[in-house]
Structure 1
Amino acid sequence: MADTNVNIPRPEDEVVEICRKLIQIDTSNFGTNEGIVERPAAEYVAELLEEVGLETRILESSKGRTSVFARLEGEDPSRPALVLHGHTDVVPAAAEDWQVHPFSGEVRDGLIWGRGAVDMKNMVAMMIAVVRYLRRKNIKPARDVILAFFADEEAGSKWGGHWIVDHHPEIFDGATEAIGEVGGYSTMVAGKRVYLLQTAEKGLQWLNLVASGRAGHGSQINEDNAITHLAGAIHRIGNHAWPLHLTDTVRQLLDGVADLTGTTWDEEDESTIWPLIDALGPAKTFVGATLRTGANPTQLGAGYKANVIPTTATATIDVRPIPGTEEDMMATLKRLAGPDVEIVPETQDIGLEVPFKGDLVDTMVDMISRHDPEATVLPYMLSAGTDNKSLSLLGIKGYGFTPLQLPVDVDFPAMFHGVDERVPISALEFGCRVLLDLLQEA
């Protein structure tokens, strides 16, 4: 442990360098379970934690698919533990599309640029910087905190969160609540700063469509063409109008935005809802997709020669159902696909919704109010998914809370999996201050 009598760097003093170094470690996850993906980042994380006296546990689900864990003793170990988690893998990036190299961690115009700057090496860096400060100051969190740095979140968590929960659930003994991505960031509504705390997320279904037909010469009449069957299914699914389905979380968000904008809305009249979604600014891209189930075709494959009609054709659809509607969703997809197209699941995961109330929620709201007194905190549903899905299988109630105070001109949701991903340094510093207080009081 460091000498507590010397000047100890605050989390804000370390977070930028930690974030930059994490970005410089290429942990691109292509979803194939090939290559050493998270291992170098996991070793760096473990090194930083062990430097301040924490015992770490490194686990591999497969070669290179590496997760890291540590546990901080709290002031009151009789209380249920809190899981603070992030993931170290990132989606791939094409360097030629970027203004800077995506794995440079370059600092430009007060922002850190690079793949993972927002998804989610920013939060990983904040977690590490805050914990290092607590350890150096010999400050215990309010209760036990389990640190989890997962592998494979970007490909459905099969080799990360789900594998850990299945094979090493003991890591989370005594934990009842968790904090991770994607929430706690700010947006502007009617000139007022609003922080969106994630209390729900849609389900995840990556489904393969497999169409069958009769092979033949491309010059002949063929009424059993697999590609034609598939094209019809894709067209019907991609253009299907899913019904409006508002959960409690979405209703609470709409009520909050209506209060801020001085308007009203009616669930029976969807035209009254979209002005509230638009009022959320850049956050509308996440929130707008939570009003109903969505199904997007994302991949296609068929044939091997221009004059040969193949026997099979395949496609992949990315389906994000509203929590609790999975059975109805699948029945609808089968009807839309038609009798000549089979639906074969590739990855399936649950949706989540937890209450916007309780001691932990109150503390998160209080911490935002402490550091941004004029702000409002509202719940929202994420249209994507997080490792809270895995933890929920252990009965752990998860929230998305990566506190970032963002400038008005930063389109934060667009940075996720986007080109020129970047995060303001000032936002990281704000997040460190909020997390530091949160761990001592939650």
Structure 2
Amino acid sequence: MAQQEHPAVTRFREYLRINTMQPKPDYQKCVDFLAAQATELGLAYKVVESAPGILNIFITLEGTDPSLPSILLNSHTDVVPVFREKWSCDPFEAIKRDDGYILARGAQDMKCVGWSYFEAIRALLAKGWKPKRTVHMSFVADEEIGGQLGMKLLVNRQEFKDLNVGFALDEGIASEKDTIRVFYGERAPWWVKVVSTGQTGHGSQLIIEDNATLKLMKVINKFMDYRADQEYKLIHGIDGRKVELGDVNTINLTMLNAGVQFNVVPQDAWAGFDVRVSPRTDINEFKNMLIEMAESEPGVKLEFVTFFGSNKLTPIDDGNQWWETVTKVAKQHNISLEPEIFPAATDSRYLREIGIPAFGISYLKNVPILLHDHDERIHEDQFLEGIPFYSNLIEQLAEL
């Protein structure tokens, strides 16, 4: 006789089956599902449209002292596209294999975290818990495409300000070791476009004084020299100290465009770069350095396609009650923590920018990193194991 599935796993798989894949996420179906689950638990909720068709939902458990700053449990509902031919199953069927692995887009990034919050709150309510601080769960849209129409807009809306958030939890990344990674900051994400203009001419010529492509190549080489320096530091460390990806800056050439015909020297050329700025770097000094490297060449301009001007950190010292609580709960669960700077970008950057301390924690240990990968998956035992951890963490954070 087949073992009956744990109800929390069944609900989690229902959530995974909602197709919120970019570029056309079904946000309406998603918030309807979440609202129904909130109603079942007797929790108040509010749906907020941050931009036309961009739906977010806040679910609230009011505290006994609502004047205290609240706890925000943040997660995003959208997921990245899939290459269906590379999957062994339908990525939105949320099948559970015989070995207990649940395969679905969003299984690691990050519906497992959002649903762990829900099940943690469910478990706390079942024992009659009433928090001192109000606890909000936020399920927000569009994180996977930069949060420009999601959290970036939400933090400036009155509905968000009314939440009175004092501290937030958000997503992390899986650990392949027996540890939980805790992210207390992240690198500022920029998309940079370098545009070069010059003199056109016949492709047979050798000397063209103002050559757009040659000038662009000089800038690219400067950027790549800097990139090589950062790569060396990542591999060999800094002053004998091992560093992680979040401790260095990255510049990656991601786009190139020039030319109209093989025998015509182009008068315009441009290159696009993905740039990530570590909190270890002065963000304004780095910005000015990039501009100088590019615009020292005549006829070359640097444009910021996207720019985020903050790479604030949340303190991880004994003076921070939030950090002290996270470490205390981890010890109670015999969990080793690895504090890191997030190498990419999450919605937490918008929270830290306005002064809200935030930690990114995904309860994923001893598992391969499969976010955005084919056959993204999580084992049902790992998912269930995380619920008591989140329950204790939420309970103790809300009682501070």
Q: How does 1:375-394 map to 2 (within 5 A)?
A: 375-394=335-354
Q: State the one-letter code of the partner of 1:229.
A: K
Q: 8 Å contact 1:146–1:172 — kept in the other structure?
A: no
Q: TM-score, normalised by structure 1?
A: 0.78
> Is 2:255 the counterpart of 1:312?
no
- Provide the residue aligned with 2:327 in structure 1: 365
- Which of residues 140, 151, 155 in structure 2 aligns to 1:165? 155
Q: 1:328 to 1:242 in 2, by over 3 A?
A: farther
1:355 partner amino acid: P
Q: Which amino acid aligns with 2:190?
A: Q
Amino acid at match of 2:196: A
Contact 2:313 2:352 in 1 (8 A): no
1:141/1:64 Cα in 2 relative to 1: closer, same or farther (>3 Å)? same
Residues 165 and 17 (structure 1), Cα distance of their counterparts in 2 relative to 1, 3 Å cut = same
Following TM superposition, by how much is the alpha carbon of 1:400 offset from its aligned partner in structure 2, in angstroms?
Answer: 1.0
Which residue of the partner structure matches residue 146 of structure 1? 136
Question: 2:203·2:263 contact (CA, 8 Å) conserved in 1?
Answer: yes
Q: Deviations over 1:43-67 (max 9, x none)?
A: 3222221222222211223332211
**Residues 103-122 of structure 1: pairs in structure 2 closer than 5 A:** 103-108=92-97, 109-122=99-112
1:83-94 equivalence runs, <5 A: 83-94=72-83
Output the TM-score relative to the length of structure 2: 0.85
Tell me how far 1:383 sits from its aligned partner.
0.9
Structural mapping, 1:230-269, within 5 Å: 230-240=216-226, 241-242=228-229, 267-269=238-240
Pick one of 174, 187, 192 that aligns with 1:207.
192
Q: Offset of 1:309 from its aligned partner? A: 4.0
Query: Whole-Å Cα distance in 2 between the matches of residues 391 and 144 of structure 1?
Result: 18
Describe the SS at the equivalent of 2:290.
helix
- C-alpha change, 1:169 and 1:239, in structure 2 (3 Å) is farther
Structure 2 residue identity aligned to 1:334: I
Q: Mark the CA change 1:172 to 1:206 in structure 2 (over 3 Å): closer, same or farther.
A: farther
Give the superposed CA RMSD. 2.9
* Partner of residue 58, structure 1: 47
| SS of the residue 1:356 aligns to | coil
In structure 2, the partner of 1:418 is 373
Shift of 1:168: 3.0
Partner amino acid, structure 2, of 1:328: E
> 2: distance between equivalents of 1:176 and 1:106?
38
**Residues 63 and 133, structure 2, Cα contact 8 Å, conserved in 1:** yes
Name the counterpart of 2:19: 26
- Which residue of structure 2 aligns with residue 343 of structure 1? 302
Q: How far 1:365 sits from its partner (Å)?
A: 1.9
Number of residue pairs the alignment of both structures matches: 383
* 1:368 shift after superposition: 2.2
Deviation at 1:145, TM superposition (A): 0.8
CA-to-partner distance for each residue in 1:416-439, whole Å, 9 max, x for gaps?
Answer: 222332222222112111111222
Shift of 1:298: 1.8
Pairing 1:297–2:253 present? yes
Report the CA distance shift for 1:219/1:115 in structure 2 as closer, same or farther (over 3 A): farther
Aligned residues with identical type, % of pairs: 29
Residues 69-107 of structure 1 show CA distances to partners (whole Å, capped at 9, x for unaligned) of: 122112443432111100111222221233333333222
Q: Does 1:44 align with 2:33?
A: yes
Q: Which residue does the alignment assign to 2:291?
A: 334
Structure 1 unaligned spans of 5+: 1-11, 251-264, 278-287
Q: For residues 420 and 170 of structure 1, do their structure 2 counterparts lie closer, same or farther at Cα, with a shift above 3 Å needed? A: closer
Secondary structure in structure 2 of the residue aligned to 1:208: strand
